[in-house]
Amino acid sequence: MAHAVALKSKGIEYHIAEIQKAHNRVRESFFEFIWSMKVAKDDLGQDILGKELASVLAISPASLSRYLAIADCAPLMRRQKSLPPVLNTLYTLTQLHDLFRKAYGENGGLGKFNRVLQGVDKNTEADDLVSFVQEAKKRIASNAKKERERGLLDISGGQIASGDDGSALKPWKELIEGKDRFRTVFMNPDDRVLELINETSTSVNDVHDKYKIADLRTPSQTKTVQGFVYCSSEFIPAGRKLLEAAGFNYRDMFVPTTGTEGFEHIRREKVLLRGERGADQHVTLKVTEEIEPGEAGARSIAVVLGSEPRLYVFASEPIENWTCSNPDRS
């Protein structure tokens, strides 16, 4: 009579160890495979490798370029023992290496990449690296915008204003002939100026040529530039004309509130018109009791919504942290 032979299990620890050994051999073979293609490229040249060997080995041009990119990434190859033998993950890391160097410079990018590598292990997947890729791309886009802004400023002979202590009004002619440019422009013309602008015979070009406020704006490459006109509600058309002449697209306005429900009649109350140069910021700021009424409150809204440096046009006196000037006093 035949007797069944019971096979003794070797235990889970044994199998885990065997699987880990096999996985390590896979990783070593994977990197050896990648390195052998780099050696072939260096010896035979990219053309022969890409056209002849790749065809014989049945490797697509896209996969070949990815393998070579991994092999050429020295920081990766130095840490291959701790990296997953997965083409997509490793290629994403090579992309991140290039993106970081473009975003933060050679030394800064390499340092940032090495810090990311310290958190990469055998279980890391390409999806785990997406946030780093997005961060680098945003930085590159921001750098490009700044470079375009510098180019535009160079063409116009301008520069971002360094700010002003508000100790004195600055002569308008000096501002126009200088190089300073501003990201926030607050205009507070008196009624006499607005009456002239409001005349049907006065065009937007006339206002532009008279004051040249648009020449004092920064380009809107890196940040949306904010423009404000503080005026009586009866001069809203003139205020919008002044905004346009200063190079801003009208967006919205802030009006005084008494907390009443329904409609409220206003005719001579002061309002704050807002315009932008650049992307629409979709402002949702609501004037509350925390914002004081009058010109000071309107100016505080400009501070909240705009950014430095700030220019106050048609100023009657100097104001701290603003460059103040009055074109009608120069």
Question: Domain range for residue 118?
Answer: 16-150
Residue 262: band (very low, low, confident or very high) from pLDDT cuts 50, 70, 90: low
Residue 179: band (very low, low, confident or very high) from pLDDT cuts 50, 70, 90: confident
pTM for this one? 0.54
290 and 164, same structural domain? yes
Is the distance from CB of 236 to CB of 253 less than 8 angstroms? yes
CA distances from 163 to 12, 42, 115, 180, 181 (A): 70, 56, 37, 9, 10
| Higher per-residue pLDDT: 289 or 3 | 3
Phi-psi region of 306 (alpha: psi -120 to 50; beta: other; left: phi over 0): beta
178 and 53, same structural domain? no
What is the average pLDDT across 190-219?
90
pLDDT attached to residue 290:
59
Residue 48: band (very low, low, confident or very high) from pLDDT cuts 50, 70, 90: low
Give the tens place of pLDDT for each residue, 310-330: 999 999 889 988 999 999 875
121 and 54, same structural domain? yes
For residue 318, what is the domain's CATH number? 3.40.50
Choosing from 150, 182, 199, the residue where a domain stops is 150
242 and 125, same structural domain? no
